[in-house]
């Protein structure tokens, strides 16, 4: 049996950020993942705000390496189309480089993994978790190859279907607080927005669906559609049929796909935004990223908040080790730390998501406040990014 102070379950951006921050503070630990890297990961492939802030705090060289990496491209503007005649622009100021970056998760996650510490991070990849058992002196982690790790504290960085969240926190998936998406890569998409600008459209089909076209470094585009999971089920919405109809018939979209070819099949995934409803910490465990429900409910991005939560988590873990206390009572301040960092942004995003359900009211609000929001967007972006 392996014994360790800390074991991170999951090596996506939130788990790796936890690991890199622990290594920065000279803390040895284990980090495990069911996959070997590089590995495929279905996602919209957009990075904003906290992704930049987190990389800078982890290591300035990491951030600059990200900026120079030819597999990642960047843009200074996000264009959100409320309807065919109304859009709102979130644009970076002239003296700053980007408001959004595009990176296939296959490449970005591997980029982060390559920056794990050789000295402090003990990697256990290609071996998933079979079971978790709380014991007197720690959490016993049994892997699928029957290897066992006993950790004083466990970090659940294992995504929306987290075994740590399920087994240790007793959390359940709430479809009212999650979104379902499908996406695919396309070659030869034409007439993309200039300067690699992000194209996001709210398309109403009984409920608001969010349609994305993000350009990628290899010349392809990530094309994505999704919406609130429970409403998709309630209205029996077939996302594949809807996105193919948009590509074929939408007056502002179809011309872009006249020569386009889809690579592979449509693939689906879910993102939770249940922070505040589920437990994020307890006796000998902390949750980060999607496992903690930290995705933004409106613009559906969770990589950046996940990475930042990993940094916050690592700082709390150091306090635990210093005092040798891993109780739920002591760890409860982690919830407050997350709230301090994210609550305003996440509450606002939930409000916007609710307003978007009311098509004409939302359009009217955007029309009235468009200029004001666009003027203030520089400062909003700067506070939560680099």
d(CA 233, CA 235): 6
d(CA 68, CA 97): 12
For 372, residues 6+ apart whose C-beta sits below 8 A from its C-beta are: none
Among 198, 197, 40, 18, smallest CA distance to 105 is for 40
DSSP designation for 254? G
Tokens representing residue 372 in the block:
């004001």
Determine the pLDDT at residue 258. Answer: 96
Among 211, 304, 305, smallest CA distance to 252 is for 211
Tokens representing residue 138 in the block:
């720690």
pLDDT of 114 above 90: yes
Determine the pLDDT at residue 81. Answer: 97
Mean pLDDT of 167-177: 92
Mean pLDDT over all residues of the chain?
95
Determine the pLDDT at residue 6. Answer: 99
Question: By percentage, how much of the chain surpasses pLDDT 90?
Answer: 89
pLDDT of 261 above 90: yes
Domain chopping of the chain, boundaries:
2-71+106-173+273-350
- pLDDT tens digits for 200-246? 999 999 999 999 999 999 999 999 999 999 999 999 999 999 999 99
Determine the pLDDT at residue 151. Answer: 98
Determine the pLDDT at residue 94. Answer: 79
Check the CA dihedral 276-10-268-44 and report its sign: positive
pLDDT of 5 above 80: yes
pLDDT of 386 above 80: no
Tokens representing residue 265 in the block:
């099949």
- pLDDT tens digits for 33-78? 999 999 999 999 999 989 999 999 999 999 999 999 999 999 999 9
Determine the pLDDT at residue 376. Answer: 80
Query: In terms of DSSP bridges, do strands 198-205 and 138-143 run parallel, antiparallel, or are they unpaired?
Result: unpaired
> pLDDT confidence of 374, banded at 50, 70, 90?
confident
Is the CB of residue 275 less than 8 Å from the CB of residue 293?
yes
CATH architecture of 2-71+106-173+273-350: 3-Layer(bba) Sandwich (3.50)
Mean pLDDT of 74-94: 92
pLDDT of 7 above 90: yes
d(CA 178, CA 359): 20
Is the CB of residue 277 less than 8 Å from the CB of residue 297?
no
d(CA 337, CA 55): 19
pLDDT of 378 above 80: no
pLDDT of 97 above 90: no
Among 200, 179, 204, 201, smallest CA distance to 359 is for 204
pLDDT of 380 above 90: no
Determine the pLDDT at residue 247. Answer: 98
pLDDT of 96 above 90: no
């Amino acid at each position: 049996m392996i014994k360790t102070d800390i074991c991170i379950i999951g090596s996506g951006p939130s788990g790796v950020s936890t690991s890199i921050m622990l290594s920065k503070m000279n803390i040895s630990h284990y980090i495990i993942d069911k996959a070997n890297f590089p590995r495929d990961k279905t996602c919209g492939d957009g990075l904003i705000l906290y992704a930049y802030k987190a990389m800078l705090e982890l290591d300035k060289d990491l951030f600059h390496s990200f900026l120079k990496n030819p597999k990642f491209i960047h843009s200074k503007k996000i264009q959100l189309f409320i309807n065919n005649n109304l859009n709102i622009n979130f644009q970076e100021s002239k003296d700053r480089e980007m408001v959004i970056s595009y990176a296939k998760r296959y490449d970005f996650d591997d980029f982060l993994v390559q920056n794990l510490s050789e000295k402090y991070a003990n990697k256990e990849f290609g071996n998933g978790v079979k079971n978790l058992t709380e014991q007197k002196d720690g959490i016993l982690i049994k892997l699928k190859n029957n290897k066992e790790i006993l950790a004083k504290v466990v970090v659940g960085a294992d995504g929306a279907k987290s075994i740590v969240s399920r087994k240790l926190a007793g959390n359940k998936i709430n479809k009212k607080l999650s979104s379902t998406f499908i996406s695919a890569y396309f070659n030869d998409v034409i007439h993309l927005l200039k300067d690699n600008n992000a194209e996001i459209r709210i398309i109403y089909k009984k409920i608001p669906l969010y349609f994305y076209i993000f350009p990628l470094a290899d010349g392809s585009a990530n094309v994505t559609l999704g919406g609130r999971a429970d409403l998709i089920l309630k209205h029996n919405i077939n996302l594949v049929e809807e996105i193919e109809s948009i590509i074929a018939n939408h007056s502002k979209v179809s011309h872009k796909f006249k020569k386009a070819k889809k690579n592979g099949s449509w693939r689906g995934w879910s993102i939770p935004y249940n922070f505040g409803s589920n437990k994020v910490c307890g006796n000998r465990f902390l949750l980060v990223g999607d496992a903690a429900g930290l995705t933004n409910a409106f613009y559906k991005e969770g990589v950046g908040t996940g990475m930042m939560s990993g940094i916050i988590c690592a700082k709390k873990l150091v306090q635990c080790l210093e005092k040798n206390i891993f109780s739920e009572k002591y760890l409860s301040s982690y919830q407050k730390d997350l709230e301090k960092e994210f609550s305003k942004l996440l509450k606002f995003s939930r409000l916007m998501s609710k307003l978007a359900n009311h098509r004409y009211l939302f359009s009217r609000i955007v029309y009235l406040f468009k200029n004001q929001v666009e003027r203030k967007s520089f400062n909003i972006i700067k506070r939560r990014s680099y």
